[in-house]
Amino acid sequence: MGQKDRVTKTLESYNDVFADIINVLLFKGKKIIKENELTPADILSQYKADGKISEQERDVSKYWHNAGFNLAFIGIENQDRPDNANPCPWL
């Protein structure tokens, strides 16, 4: 892991920064997600596809919760060049 990657992950791990990024990308800057509604989530997750269990790792991930309910699991993947394998290569 390079220095640039470590710095970016550390910055994005702060709830206020994470909330700002997601609010800009998903809600056109409207403050929908608030920093106190975020809790850390495991960066590793497993899923089953084609009968096989696979694992995926995100750079930073958080649970978004409100009134005691988990509303969403949000993960961020950093990239420094376009990669069409990512779900949203235009972001």
Q: Report if residue 84 sits inside a domain.
A: no
What pLDDT is recorded for position 66?
86
Residue 90 covered by a domain: no
pLDDT of amino acid 2: 67
**Residue 41 within any structural domain of the chain:** yes
25's CB contacts (< 8 A; 6+ apart) are 91
What DSSP line would sit under 75-90, residue for residue? Answer: EE---SS--TTSS-TT
* 1 vs 64 pLDDT, higher one: 64
Domain for residue 49, yes or no? yes
Question: What residue numbers bound the domain in which 27 lies?
Answer: 3-76
Asked whether residue 81 is assigned to any structural domain, the reply reads: no
Residue 87 covered by a domain: no
What's the rounded Cα separation, in Å, for the pair 33 and 69? 14
| Total domains in the fold of the chain | 1
User: Using CA atoms, how far apart are residues 5 and 91, in angstroms rounded to an integer?
Assistant: 17
Residue 86 has pLDDT above 70, yes or no: no
pLDDT at 45: 84
Do the Cβ atoms of 39 and 46 come closer than 8 Å? no
Cα 29 from Cα 38, distance rounded (Å): 17
pLDDT digits (tens, 9 = 90+) for 25-46: 999 999 999 999 999 998 888 8
| pTM summary value | 0.76
Residue 63 is assigned to a structural domain of this protein: yes
Element (H, E) at 47: strand 44-49
Q: What is the pLDDT of residue 64?
A: 94
For residue 17, the model assigns a pLDDT of 97
pLDDT grade, residue 15 (50/70/90)?
very high
Does residue 89 sit within a domain? Answer: no
